[in-house]
Chain A
C-alpha cells in the first residue's frame, strides 16, 4: 500500500491499495512519509518497501 497522509498524533496513516481502496493503517512499527510504500498485515504496517 502507498502512504497518502499521516496522523502523527494517533500513529495512523491513510494508505491506498493497488485497487485504489483506502484504509487506515497503524504505523507505529515503521518510519514512513507520504509516498512511501509499505507492507501492511492485519491493519499494521510491518515494513517499508525498498528498491533493493
Chain B
C-alpha cells in the first residue's frame, strides 16, 4: 500500500542501520526518547532496536494515552457508569484500566451499561438511538484524539442531543515533556517526536526542546524506516553540532499543524489549571476540560463524581516506565503478577504501553534469557 510498503523495505532498513552504525561515536552512549506509544509499539513489533548499535538506547516516553490516566479518573468513570439510566461509552483499551476497586470491564460485568466505541461519533449515535437514557463518553487521549471529541461535541450541540455528555480527560503533550526535561532522573540526548500529535499541533510547539534544553527532536512517522530515519537525523544533528526541530514525517505533518483542528479545539476546550498523570503526579496546564460554551455537555457537571486521588499500587512502577527511568522488564511485577491478561499497571493494558509492547512481541522472554 502506498505510503506504507516503501517504509517497511528491509533492504532500505539495512542501509539505514549501516548509516546509523557509521554515525555513532564509539565509546559514547546515546539515549533517545521515543515520545509516542505508537513508536514504542512499532519499535518492538518490527524489532527496530535490534538494528541499532549497542550504544544507542531508546527509552519510552509518556505518550501512551491510556497509560497516563490515573486510578482516580477510572473511579470517577465507574461512578458515572453506575448511575441509573446511564450508558457509559469509552475506547476498548480504557475498559481494562484498573481503578482502585476494579476496571470498567468489571463494572460492566457487575451490571453497569458500559459500551466500547471506536469513535466519540459512535457514542453520539448511541445517544440519538436512546433518547430516554443519558449517554456519557469517556474522552481520553492527546491532541490526536481531542479534535474528534471536539467535533462530536459541536455536532451534539448543533443537532440538540440533550442526553449526550462527555467526561473529558484529554491531555496535552508539551507539559509532560517539559516536566521530564526538568527532572534530574533522566539524561537524554534527543527525542523521536510524536508524529500523530504533530499532525494536529504541528512541529512548532516542540521548538522549546532545542531552544531551552539544547536537545534535538525529529518528528517521526510510525513505520520502521520512519523511526530509523529519525534516529539517523538526530545523530546527524549531534554530529554536525546542530540542535533543532526536524520533521521526518512531512508526508503527514505540516510544520504548523492542522489549523482547523486547533480552532475547533480552542472553541470546545480550555486548559485545566492542573491535571494528574499516572506516575507523573500533577502537571500544570496539561489537561483539557470543556469550555464555558460547552459546559452543559460536561459529564462532571451533570453527574456527581468522587474526584478522589488514588495512589498507584505499591508494586506498580508504571510511573518510572512512563518517565523512561526504568525498562519494563525492570519492574518488579512485569510478566509475573502483571500481564496483559491481568494488568496491574496501565502500561500493560494498551498496545501502545511499553510493558505490553515488550511482553507481546517476545521481549519478555529475550530479556529474561539475557539476565
Contacts and interface: CB of A to CB of B under 8 A. Distances in A.
A31 to B, nearest CB: 9
B2 A37 contact: yes
A44 interface: yes
A42 B121 CA distance: 8
B349 to A, nearest CB: 18
A30 B264 CA distance: 13
B165 interface: no
Interface of A is mostly: loop
A39 B199 contact: yes
Given A26-B121, A29-B258, A49-B3, A42 B145 contact: yes
Interface in A24-40: 26, 28-30, 37, 39
A44 B148 contact: yes
28 contacts: A18-B1, A18-B4, A26-B121, A26-B151, A29-B151, A29-B264, A37-B3, A39-B252, A41-B144, A41-B148, A41-B196, A42-B91, A42-B118, A42-B119, A42-B141, A42-B144, A42-B148, A43-B148, A44-B121, A44-B151, A46-B147, A46-B200, A46-B258, A46-B261, A47-B199, A47-B258, A49-B252, A52-B251
Nearest to A19: B1
Contacts of B253: 47
A37 B3 CA distance: 9
B314 interface: no
B190 interface: no
B368 interface: no
A17 to B, nearest CB: 9
B250 interface: yes
Contacts of B118: 42-43
B119 A44 contact: yes
Contact of B147 (A18, A29, A49): A29
Interface residues of B, number: 29
Interface in B170-206: 196, 199-200
Contact of A29 (B91, B141, B252, B260): B260
Nearest to A50: B251
A42 B152 CA distance: 11
B76 interface: no
A2 B148 CA distance: 19
Contacts of A26: 121, 148, 151
Interface of A: 18, 26, 28-30, 37, 39, 41-44, 46-47, 49-52
Given A42-B141, A43-B119, A49-B252, A29 B3 contact: no
Contacts of B148: 26, 41-44
Given A49-B3, A49-B251, A51-B251, 11 more contacts: A18-B4, A30-B260, A37-B2, A39-B199, A42-B119, A43-B118, A44-B121, A46-B144, A46-B199, A47-B252, A50-B252
Contacts of A44: 119, 121, 147-148, 151
A20 B91 CA distance: 23
Interface string B203-235: 000000000000000000000000000000000
Contacts of B261: 29, 46
Most buried by B among A37, A47, A49, A52: A47
B120 interface: yes
Interface string B1-16: 1111000000000000
A28 B260 contact: yes
